[in-house]
């Protein structure tokens, strides 16, 4: 789209024009992308952004780099929501290339495979599965009944997805107006799944608002797990049943999230960390190879001592 057209849709006055292909974060945006600043804690990222244009409040206009166009508005996050709709793809395609099915595949009855999709050799897709448009599934994959993979998602080789799981549903993103209306932020990214991954039944992995929600190689995900938009699950990590990750959570390699654990959003967990059952991570964990428990989260050994002291107090 033309930047002038975007500005016109958002009722922002602008005289400079350039081509904008998509929306991304301040950190990752390039010269043909639009970004935004809504929280001053990302001010440093604004000062160093390579974005072609940025939605920004007038109080922070002075920090916009010389080569970036400032789109000055009162509510940048709300403007982002309106702008995201301009880049949303079709819900379904009505025309395109017929799907490409590899050698020795088994595609059972009552399976939908969308336009421009590819399924690699020796893969199996069972009855009731829905594979959207522009989806790529690698070799030696098993997609069990009633799995749904939304458009544009990418699945690697040797991946197993169990029944009822949904890959690529919309992330939960809304901007709220001053009078309380919740305006949808269109989720225009995708989900990318690496090689040798197993995903249990009835899981949901949300597509990214922009860029990708990423599941790296060798990850194991139990049943009933929710992974929100723009998360990254590191190599070899394990997520046990009823784990819930909020948006933009980063797990480094070989993290273990035990049953009913969770995170708040926009945090990072160090490699080889274990979160014990029902633990809640509310801030980043920077030191690797430790086990944590409880809420507020403490080291597991400390949590065990604390529980022992509480039991003794009850007996006294």
In angstroms, the CA 270 to CA 297 distance is: 15
**CA separation (Å) from 69 to 197, 264, 289?**
42, 32, 44
**CA separation (Å) from 64 to 10, 41, 272, 273?**
19, 15, 38, 38
By CB neighbour count within 10 A (0-12 exposed, 13-18 middle, 19+ buried), where does 147 fall? buried
At 312, which helix (H) or strand (E)?
Answer: helix 300-315
The full 3-state SS of 71-85, as one line of letters, equals EECCCHHHHHHHHHH
**Active-site residue 235, yes or no?**
no
Give the residues across from 213 on adjacent strands: 191
Total H helices, total E strands in the chain? 4, 35
Q: Which of 57, 182, 226, 229 is catalytic?
A: 229
Q: Which long-range contacts (CB under 8 A, 24 or more apart) does 233-242 make?
A: 234/271, 235/194, 240/277, 241/200
Active site residues per annotation: 229
């Amino acid at each position: 789209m033309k930047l002038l057209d975007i500005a016109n849709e958002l009722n922002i006055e602008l005289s400079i024009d350039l081509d904008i292909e998509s929306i991304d974060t301040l950190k990752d945006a390039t010269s043909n992308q639009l970004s935004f600043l809504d929280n001053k804690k990302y001010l440093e990222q604004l000062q160093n952004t390579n974005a072609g244009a940025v939605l920004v409040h007038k109080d922070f206009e002075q920090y916009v780099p010389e080569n970036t166009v400032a789109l000055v508005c009162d509510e940048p996050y709300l403007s982002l929501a309106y702008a995201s709709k301009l880049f949303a793809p079709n819900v379904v395609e009505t025309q395109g290339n017929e799907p490409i099915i590899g050698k020795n595949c088994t595609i059972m009855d009552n399976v939908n495979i969308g336009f421009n999709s590819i399924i690699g050799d020796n893969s199996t897709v069972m009855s009731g599965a829905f594979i959207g448009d522009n989806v790529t599934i690698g070799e030696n994959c098993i997609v069990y009944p009633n799995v749904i993979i939304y458009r544009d998602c990418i699945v690697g080789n040797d991946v197993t997805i169990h029944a009822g799981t949904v890959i690529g549903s919309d992330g939960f993103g809304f901007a709220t107006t001053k009078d309380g209306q919740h305006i949808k932020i269109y989720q225009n990214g995708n989900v990318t799944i690496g090689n040798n991954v197993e995903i249990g039944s009835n899981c949901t992995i949300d597509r990214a608002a922009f860029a990708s929600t990423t599941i790296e190689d060798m990850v194991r995900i139990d049943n009933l797990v929710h992974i929100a938009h723009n998360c990254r699950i590191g190599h070899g990590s394990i997520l046990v049943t009823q784990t819930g990750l909020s948006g933009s959570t980063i797990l480094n390699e070989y993290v273990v999230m035990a049953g009913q654990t969770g995170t708040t959003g926009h945090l990072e967990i160090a490699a080889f960390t274990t979160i014990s059952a029902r633990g809640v991570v509310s801030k980043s964990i920077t030191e690797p190879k430790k086990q944590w428990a409880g809420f507020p989260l403490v080291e597991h050994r400390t949590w065990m001592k604390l529980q022992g002291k509480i039991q003794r107090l009850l007996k006294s």
